[in-house]
Amino acid sequence: MDKCEFRAILKRLNWTYGEAASRLDISPSSIANYAGGTKIPFSIAKLLRLWVPTEESTFGLSIRTFNDAFAEGGNAEVARILRELANRVEHYGQTEGSLYDVNGNRVGEFWWLA
């Protein structure tokens, strides 16, 4: 994301630099630096793009497979998490939330921006 796109997104959202800083949980001086041409970190650009309304809906998920639940049979654990997620979306209408491994550890999140 370059400074032009950054400023365009802020304008489209009708956010001041202060509002952007508050919503993205970063310092106002960082926002001003980004608008002035300082390289915008990927994580901030990704968060900012999530706020922008689009014509399309977006579903995203992230699963971190670093712990014991994935040590042996990691494929089975990912499949179990995905089946549980499908149930939550289909039967309970959830559109965002955390994902947990078989041991109860938080290992990811999902979101559906409609």
pLDDT per residue as tens digits for the range 23-45 = 777 787 887 777 777 777 777 77
pTM of the model: 0.53
pLDDT value of residue 114: 61
Select the more confidently predicted residue: 72 or 77.
Answer: 77
Other CB atoms within 10 A of residue 107 CB? 22
Select the more confidently predicted residue: 56 or 80.
Answer: 80
- pLDDT at position 77 over 70: yes
Long-range contacts from 67-76, C-beta under 8 angstroms, 24+ separation: 67/101, 67/103, 67/105, 67/107, 68/103, 69/101, 69/102, 69/103, 69/105, 69/107, 70/101
Q: What letter would DSSP give residue 45?
A: H
Distance CA 14, CA 42 (A): 22
Q: Where are the domains of the chain?
A: 3-51, 58-113
- pLDDT at position 47 over 80: no
pLDDT value of residue 44: 75
What is the three-class DSSP state of 89? Answer: helix
| pLDDT tens-digit map of 11-20 | 777 788 888 8
